[in-house]
Structure 1
């Protein structure tokens, strides 16, 4: 990895004008601090060119291409890359413990090995992020379930890191899925204070510049270059009028079916009937509490395969619809536990002879090469090494 201070100052140089004398400007120093603060969630890019084969893959896509027609690699719970037992111990004051049982092991919460910076350079363009207030209700930060992922990196900081990356890669576009994380502490909820803070984040001058401001339509590559398309997995409450005018796509929790093996459809624009088709079978709990690791992987893989084949075969209005397939999953209530890493990569023994979902997905994507897949959301996106390229169809 590059030295983080060198990397972040490089980002700053891309988005702030240098002093004619060559000295670092105050704007560069300010951005450097923001990006440094974001690092625990956003991560750092690799200085290895071989890990950046698809850093600019969108630049060759014609402007008129609908985003819905693309194959877009994504990362599930993208902010968890830096979460470890040491992180959990350091932030023990903030990790919720129901019934005195103590927090779940750190590996329950971690779903990635690399942060958004490395994922962007590897070709990932969809990021699943979960936010809520920090333990003192001062600012919006990132969580996975009860686990606070960083006490330092705010939503504002991480958005600035995405803005900086887009400034340096103006031919690319990014889809950010923002979900409110409930259950972070007793009594927490998506209340007026959270909504007011979120309005401030999304209404800032920087957000208006880098987040596409239209609502309820996915649009084309051309109108999205250098921009973020926001995917809103939260409801602003009230009569719903605000949800209709905020930027991006409103995929509200009221329409998002929980742990549905079959997948579901969700209308995000009732005027034009624009629809998202989603598979989010994240926990094969219907197998019972004593299912094998291989059975869990197979159940998840079956749901993924069915949904990808549905995306590939879509015709009529569905051909222009958004498809999102979550290849991620876990089953920590099972005995033995099936952690996210186990589901994605297997456990490296004869118990999982075909590997995890990611390994089986490589074979499936090879067979489906040339098909439209939509967004494919991955845990541990970096393994196997060819996985992202196969999602892209390269």
Structure 2
């Protein structure tokens, strides 16, 4: 499969920046005994959209109207869908090098695909296969034995029970003893002592019941708005309701709607997002991790590497030392 989509050259100078690739192992030792859900952890929203396939069909979960438009006017519909589907420019290894430790993996099986080939999806499918990507993550972890990643496996478009079992078997085979079994959320020191580096959340209840290596789905606060101030109001409202008990994600990603797309035909998700990053980053820097009801945990964003987002999220952990 070919035709990988790339974003604009605004990210061309980012691929050598990896100052945060070992940030967990260089945290102050006092933070090694803080449970993961009380740390501040950077994440990427829709991690795999850097490799969407130009030739891919539209996801079967998209609206019937979009499916019809794509069949009738593919030369018009497809480019529009693609430019509003890409949320990341860095590949998964580059994101890990940049310091991302929560990966948002939307997994799907294409009806048109081969029996066991699983892809990622965000309106269209990726060129990357799930098994290859998990192997890439595992190889990165072997080079960084004191870093820990959270893999949020979700969506599961088109997956049968057999395909779920196949996917879980792949996860077990690829990560092996790196997997942290479900239980009380550990600290970094506990994970290091066990040689564990991977927490897999898996949003399929039947699979959870069969496999102790899988953790329940992680709540994701999604504002679903094109307006930055509306997104930040939503996040503040969620904070006022109290944080979940375990891992959770505050999403700083803006979301287009049909009205916005029609009113801005020459724009893209990237063009909509980048001018708003300074305001979003300012909000990030105001946050505080920890057990308090208004504390944050994972903070995820789009276009990782375009600004200081990852470093800002990591730096919040210093506030835990002020207590």
Give your verdict on TM over 0.5.
yes
Matching residue of 1:249? 215
Contact 2:59 2:121 (8 Å CA) reproduced: no
Instruction: Compare 140-149 and 167-176 and name the one that shifted more.
Output: 140-149
Map 1:43-54 to 2 at 5 A. 51-54=17-20
Map 1:122-161 to 2 at 5 A. 122-134=98-110, 135-150=112-127, 153-161=128-136
Matching residue of 2:44? 75
Cα deviation for residue 48 of structure 1 reads 7.7
Q: Provide the aligned length of Structure 1 versus Structure 2.
A: 281
Cα deviation for residue 247 of structure 1 reads 1.3
In structure 2, the gaps of 5 or more residues are 6-11, 71-77, 317-323
2:299 is equivalent to residue 382 of structure 1: no
2:280 is equivalent to residue 365 of structure 1: no
Cα deviation for residue 140 of structure 1 reads 3.9
Matching residue of 1:304? 235
Cα 1:300–1:171 change in 2 (3 A) is same
2:232 is equivalent to residue 232 of structure 1: no
How much is the aligned-residue C-alpha RMSD, in angstroms? 3.1
Cα 1:47–1:100 change in 2 (3 A) is closer
Cα deviation for residue 124 of structure 1 reads 0.8
Q: Secondary structure at the match of 1:219?
A: coil
Query: How does the TM-score come out when normalised to structure 1?
Result: 0.63
2:145 is equivalent to residue 207 of structure 1: no
- Equivalents in 2 of 1:203, 1:221: separation in Å? 21
Contact 1:211 1:229 (8 Å CA) reproduced: yes
In structure 1, the gaps of 5 or more residues are 1-36, 183-188, 252-275, 285-292, 346-354
Cα 1:305–1:361 change in 2 (3 A) is farther
Map 1:170-185 to 2 at 5 A. 170-182=145-157
Cα deviation for residue 305 of structure 1 reads 3.8
Matching residue of 2:82? 106
Cα 1:130–1:52 change in 2 (3 A) is same
Aligned partner of 2:270 among 328, 341, 344: 341
Structure with greater Cα Rg: 1
- Equivalents in 2 of 1:369, 1:65: separation in Å? 14
Q: Secondary structure at the match of 2:205?
A: coil
Contact 1:369 1:390 (8 Å CA) reproduced: no
- Equivalents in 2 of 1:76, 1:65: separation in Å? 24
2:24 is equivalent to residue 58 of structure 1: yes
Contact 1:75 1:379 (8 Å CA) reproduced: yes
> For each residue in 1:340-374, what CA deviation from the matched residue of structure 2 results, as whole angstroms up to 9, or x when unmatched?
324532xxxxxxxxx31x22122223334677521
